[in-house]
Amino acid sequence: MTMTEKAERKAAAENPPSEQEEVIFRAEKITKIYPGTVALDEVDFEIYRGKVNVLVGENGAGKSTLMKILAGVEQPTSGQLYLNGKQIENSSIIEAGKNGIGIIFQEMMIFPNLTVTENLFIGREKLNQGIVSNKVQREETVRILNQMEQPIDPDRLVGELRVGQQQIIEIARAISENKRILIMDEPTSALSNSEVTVLFQLMRELLVKGVTIVYISHKLEELMQIGDYVTVLRDGKRVAAAKIRDIDLSWIIRWMVGEKQGMFTYYQKRELGEELMRVEDITLPRIGGGYSVDHVSFTVRKGEILGLYGFVGSGRTELFECLCGCAKDATGTIFIHGKEVRSKKITGRIMDGIILVPENRQVDGLVQTMSVGGNIVLSSLRKYIKGFSLSKKEEKKAVAEKISEISIKVSDPNRLITSLSGGNQQKVVVSRALLTDPTILLLDEPTRGIDVGAKSEIFQIVNKLASQGYGIIFVSTELKEVIAIADRILVMSKGKITGEFLREEATEEALVTASAIGHELKGGAHA
Amino acid sequence: MPEIKKRNTNWLKVQSIVMKGRAFIALIVVFVLFTIIVPNFLNSTNLVVMTKHVAIYAILAIGMTFVILTGGIDLSVGSVAGLCAMMAGGFINEGITIGANTYYPSIPMVLILTMGIGTICGIINGLIIAKFNVAAFIATLGMWYVARGFAKIRSNGLTFPNLVGREELGNTGFPQLGAGSFLGISYSIWIMLVFMLVAIFVTKKMPLGRHVYAIGGNEKAAQMSGVSIDRTKVGVYAISGFCSSVVGLIIASQLVASHPMTGDSYEMTAIAAVVLGGASLAGGIGGIGGTVIGAFVIGILSDGLVMAGVSSFWQQVAKGIVIVLAVIIDQGQRRLQERVALTQQSEGKESV
Amino acid sequence: MKKSLILVVVLALVLGTVAAVSAAESKGLIYVITPSHANPFFGAEAEIAVARAEELGYTTKSVSHDDDANKQMELFETAIAEGAVAIILDNAGADATVSAVQKAKDAGIPTFLIDREISEEGIAAAQIVSNNYQGASMVAEYFVELMGEEGTYIELTGRDTDTNAHVRSQGFHDVIDEYEDMEMIAQDTANWDQNEAFAKMETMLQSHPDVKGVICGNDTMALGAHAALVAAGKGDVIVMGFDGSDDVIQSIRDGGIKATGLQPVATISIAAVDQADYYLTNGEFEKEEKQSIDCVLINAENACMYEKFAPIEGVTSCE
């Protein structure tokens, strides 16, 4: 810790945010020890009534553990919880629920195979003589959704809803349970901007009704916008707390990251080379008519980072699927180094030099049962065959090379992949892709759900890769990220490319405007 | 604090090693127990005989391990073994009739043809599962019926007796496979050993093995990594079908007769051996070595219970209890692994 | 570790109950290998053999091959390894058993076959079987008599892979087919199984509701078929079985099933053990290899005189 930091920390500790606001819930000296690790170390945490109480920290700082303790999912090793000044025991999630505390998890706890109504009442069905009363449940659902001004059909299967709507269903469930304190763990990680707007509006309405919100997010701009109080955790300790009004973004980053480097390593100027990939007329029909990807054409040059921006549902994910060989019904032609790509399958496309680093690491990226090393070499096994068998030596060499090149933090590559933090897991997926010697690297939201420090490293890596001559297409829902990293930005909306901006021309406004073409933005213009 | 941490980690490591070796522990327990209870248990003839019995289950279970590692299941192995036994019996006693001519294949040819049939059954399983997206349980359940049905159709339900072949047809020698031995050890045991070594090599040293583990661990991620899911799946079911055919041949050869009900319910024994050996039915976890040990546990349990004079009804109870216990331990192991991973995660943080 | 302990305890409990049974002095170990005792016929057969052998001073092990020829082979190998002096066997298939018996013979252990034959002679020490053909013909004659020499009937046969199923069916038909007015309207296998017979009977009743008689290859199928008939309100259909199990004898006494051919299991099992004892004592075979023992027809008139596949001592009439 530097001297200034120490002083600041002292100041922050001595000046806890204004006493006049009412503390509804207080956690005191919470310590949580897992076998061999201290997740939380005497953490204090105050929650103010009717406010948005923000909790920030890097991955592994202990946010999720603290939330789980508040919600009764986990029990603290030591420390006390006070609700309205009275000591309580949240011995289970049900007990916490009785105390009026509800949690919306980072991984959504919805049942895609059940209807909206059924989801809302799962586990506490309204019974009429032992039989589920669908009518009562449905009426209640309609009432709550109307109250939230969300016109969602209560009989639809939740799996058919957009991600944003699914999130709203989760919130509706918490509301229908009359929760006084609502914990939201990364609720916006899967939402598009307009959906975030809707969510924030909803949160503000909840506040007016006296609901207290505890909010966790990696998206710092969001926190500044919606939060009232902020508490920063680092390495299992509470390092600072303040009123959002009194601070700025850099304050938060400073406390979160400590001495580590700042948020973005900015764009590095480099020479763009010859054309690597040309895509012509890529089209993917949508089930039920129309196109998910509507006759898209573009090129990527050597050493170029091409940003791709658009809302959820704009077709950017589908475009990636067409490129990487995941979409069976895709048509159109792709040229790599001027040669047409014939293969329609993932395996073939990888051989031709196109590989995708998927958005959802856990679902599409990692083989959780395998080691770090096993994951890294998975795509490039044929390179290590000596005679009939895989050569341990060659594998080891490749793994060690990538671990140092991409600076993956792991002491032993034989460890299970799940023992790494999110950022390092992402680097593993990137390493695997690089080992296939790709021409074009498709990065789908590579920074999703990882902390600021890791994000910054990922940006450095992407920059470095571009300088080495890879062509990179980079998708992100975060405007600032796209603008910070890309040489050129394509904006998609409704399956079409609706805007193309060189680095110099790209502004947030221009991108948003282009991404809304074909959409009518509804309401939500709340400041 | 650091010291407690260290000790904690070490203890976890010890625990996880013990859990991983659970099949081995069970083997030792069963072995010691029977040595105490059954007087003639520990003589060399009996040990060889038991190993011979184990070989049949072990070979089936080795094939099954590949399937289970991908997260699949093959219920058809017993039936396919039965079908293959009947096909081999038919080739030897009735030959192959094309039009008016009957051709009697030589014994090596019979073996190759039969193994081909078993492999084809497996390939069909694999194609149905991979290409038509049918759940493995259902596809192989279908094969379970079909193969058994054909086994009976082949002879109209009868047994092919006396599979010694005829000198003038040049197809003698089939019983040698079951009865013969090399260095005093039956061929079936040698076959098991060879299969085991080859399978270990494939799982540990070849891309196919790695792909099998990857698909079982996370099929979607494997696909995105460029692993050819379809080809790998067809491959593992083909391996399982091949192993089944070898088992069918060994049984027919040992009995010098092939019976249409050969291998009835052996799939359950094979699955049990794989699970006992530490594999997860969800896929991605397990290995050949464990499976073979699992087969030994079940085989020794079967023979030992017989020698101890336990009634066959109680034998079933005992086997059932052992299998379920093993799975309970498996769950414990899973939790333990999560904790180890957690510990490593925190350690990893510190070392940075 | 705790869990392995549980494993030890459970196994010890299961095995411990049996370990106590080892005898102090014995004339040697006799293995009794039969199909699953789930069928009372085989249960009785094994029980009687075991009782007789222990009476004569042998230790015994009674095990089941569950009609799996490979398992039977394994049991033989285990018996050989354990140093058994003789094997009493109700086998798992005429052809598939030959090699196992041969193996025992090579190891100097005589095998005395009961109930079912194998397809080769000169390997087993004895093949003592009930005369299935005689028994089946006898049942068939009584069947024709009760049917009044005319009418429709259904036949349920045993497992296709079992020789006795074919022999019995042959015995039935050699008699019944002589009568032109006897018409078989359906024939199917129920695999010796009670439940399968019940289901098959139900199905057949749909297409043949007016059937007059049902003749079955064994008693368990007869019980299944009869239960289906009673359930359909057709309890008066003439049903006959084969084996002479206590359940069917009881049914005959209650006026349900009409008759069965009783296999003299007790006689066979005891004869096998006695002959084994004779061989082990004198070093030579008492009788020739193939021995056939006639079956007895059980009907309402003599049903009360039999129990456990043997005549009840002292009971000579049903009045």
Q: Average the pLDDT over B224-252 and give the result.
A: 93
How far, in Å, CA of B241 to CA of B117, rounded? Answer: 8
Quick: pLDDT tens for C66-110: 888 989 999 999 999 888 999 999 998 888 899 999 999 999 999
Question: Pairing mode, if any, of strands A229-234 and A212-216?
Answer: unpaired
Q: Would the CB atoms of C78 and B30 count as touching at under 8 Å?
A: no
| In a shared domain, residues A183 and A313 | no
For residue B303, the chain C residues in CB contact (below 8 A) are 74, 78
| In a shared domain, residues A235 and A286 | no
pLDDT at A527 over 50: no
Predicted pLDDT at A17:
46
Best C1, C2, C3 residue to mutate vs chain B (most B CBs within 10 Å): C3
Inter-chain CB pairs, B–C, below 8 Å: 150
Question: What CATH number corresponds to the domain at position A32?
Answer: 3.40.50.300
Predicted pLDDT at C318:
74
For residue B318, the chain C residues in CB contact (below 8 A) are 10-11, 14-15
pLDDT at C2 over 70: no
Three-state secondary structure string covering A337-403: CCEECCCCCHHHHHHHCEEEECCCHHHHHCCCCCEHHHHHHHHHHHHHEECCEECHHHHHHHHHHHH
Give the full edge-to-edge strand order of the sheet including C126-130.
C59-64, C29-34, C86-89, C111-114, C126-130, C290-293
pLDDT at A318 over 80: yes
3-state secondary structure of A507: coil
CATH code of the domain made up of B40-342: 1.10.3470
Last residue of a domain, one of A400, A417, A437: A437
Quick: pLDDT tens for A235-251: 788 888 889 888 887 78
| In a shared domain, residues A326 and A474 | yes
Pick the closest to residue C135 from C1, C234, C241, C283 (CA basis).
Answer: C241
Q: Which residue did the predictor score with more confidence, C181 or C3? A: C181
How far, in Å, CA of A485 to CA of B90, rounded? Answer: 71
Q: Average the pLDDT over A279-304 and give the result.
A: 85
The parent domain of residue A374 ranges over 369-437
Q: Would the CB atoms of B258 and C12 count as touching at under 8 Å?
A: no
How far, in Å, CA of A291 to CA of A311, rounded? Answer: 16
* Average pLDDT of chain B, as a whole number: 85
Q: Give the count of beta carbons closer than 10 Å to the beta carbon of residue B138.
A: 12
Predicted pLDDT at B351:
40
Residues of each domain in chain C carrying CATH 3.40.50.2300: 27-129+265-293, 132-264+299-311
Interface check for B303 against chain C (CB to CB < 8 A): the answer is yes
pLDDT at A522 over 60: no
Predicted pLDDT at A65:
84
- Angle (CA) A408-A414-A415 rounded to 5° is 75
Predicted pLDDT at A190:
67
Q: Is residue A268 part of a domain?
A: no
Q: Is residue A267 part of a domain?
A: no
Predicted pLDDT at C159:
86
| In a shared domain, residues A165 and A16 | no
**Chain B, nearest residue to C13 by Cα:** B318
How far, in Å, CA of B8 to CA of B265, rounded? Answer: 45
Asked whether A479 and A506 are in contact (CB, 8 A), the reply is: no
Phi, psi of A24 (to 5 degrees): -90, -30
Reading the block at residue A68, the tokens are 């789980």
Domain count, chain A: 4
Interface check for B334 against chain A (CB to CB < 8 A): the answer is no
Q: Is residue A163 part of a domain?
A: yes
The amino acid present at A427, given as its one-letter code, is K
Quick: pLDDT tens for A389-431: 888 888 888 888 888 888 888 778 888 887 777 778 888 998 9
CA distances from A13 to A7, A45, A224, A345 (A): 10, 12, 21, 57
In angstroms, the first-to-last Cα distance of chain B is 18
Judge C/A contact: 3 or more CB pairs < 8 A.
no
Reading the block at residue A417, the tokens are 């992949």
Quick: pLDDT tens for C31-51: 999 998 877 788 889 999 999
| In a shared domain, residues A31 and A87 | yes
Reading the block at residue A197, the tokens are 């707007």
Quick: pLDDT tens for A433-457: 888 888 899 998 888 767 777 788 8
**Chain B, nearest residue to A348 by Cα:** B226
CATH code of the domain made up of C27-129+265-293: 3.40.50.2300
Q: Would the CB atoms of B156 and C160 count as touching at under 8 Å?
A: yes
**Chain A, nearest residue to B336 by Cα:** A35
| In a shared domain, residues A337 and A464 | yes
Q: Average the pLDDT over A65-86 and give the result.
A: 87
Predicted pLDDT at A523:
40
Predicted pLDDT at C5:
52
Query: Which subunits sit against A, judged by 3+ Cβ pairs under 8 A?
Result: B
Q: Would the CB atoms of B159 and C74 count as touching at under 8 Å?
A: no
Quick: pLDDT tens for B58-107: 999 999 999 999 999 999 999 999 999 999 999 998 888 888 888 889 89
Pick the closest to residue A510 from A487, A476, A483 (CA basis).
Answer: A483
Reading the block at residue B105, the tokens are 């294949």
Predicted pLDDT at C177:
94
Best B225, B230, B280, B342 residue to mutate vs chain A (most A CBs within 10 Å): B225
Judge C/B contact: 3 or more CB pairs < 8 A.
yes
CATH of C132-264+299-311, one of 3.40.47.10, 3.40.50.2300, 3.40.190.10, 2.40.30.10: 3.40.50.2300
Phi, psi of A322 (to 5 degrees): -65, -40
Q: Is residue A358 part of a domain?
A: no
The amino acid present at A312, given as its one-letter code, is V
User: Which residues 69-88 in chain B show a CB within 8 A of chain C?
Assistant: none
CA distances from B30 to A346, B279, C4, C12 (A): 48, 20, 11, 10
Per-residue confidence band for C19, with pLDDT thresholds at 50, 70 and 90: very low
* Average pLDDT of chain A, as a whole number: 81
Q: Is residue A107 part of a domain?
A: no
Phi, psi of A442 (to 5 degrees): -100, 115
Q: What pTM value is reported for the model?
A: 0.74
The stretches of A187-302 forming alpha helices (DSSP H) are 193-208, 220-226, 249-257
Reading the block at residue A292, the tokens are 């998910």
Residue B237, C-beta contacts closer than 8 angstroms, at least 6 positions apart? B67, B72, B74, B122, B123, B125, B126, B129, B140
Predicted pLDDT at C58:
94
User: Which residues 117-136 in chain C show a CB within 8 A of chain B?
Assistant: 119-120
Q: Is residue A511 part of a domain?
A: yes
Quick: pLDDT tens for B34-71: 888 887 788 888 888 889 889 999 999 999 999 999 99
For residue A388, the chain B residues in CB contact (below 8 A) are 205-206
Residue A131, H or E segment: strand A131-132
Predicted pLDDT at C307:
85
How far, in Å, CA of A82 to CA of A99, rounded? Answer: 11
Quick: pLDDT tens for B298-333: 888 888 888 887 777 788 888 888 878 877 876 776
For residue B45, the chain C residues in CB contact (below 8 A) are 80-81
User: By mean pLDDT, which of A100-109, A212-221, A384-393, B251-260 is the weakest?
Assistant: A100-109
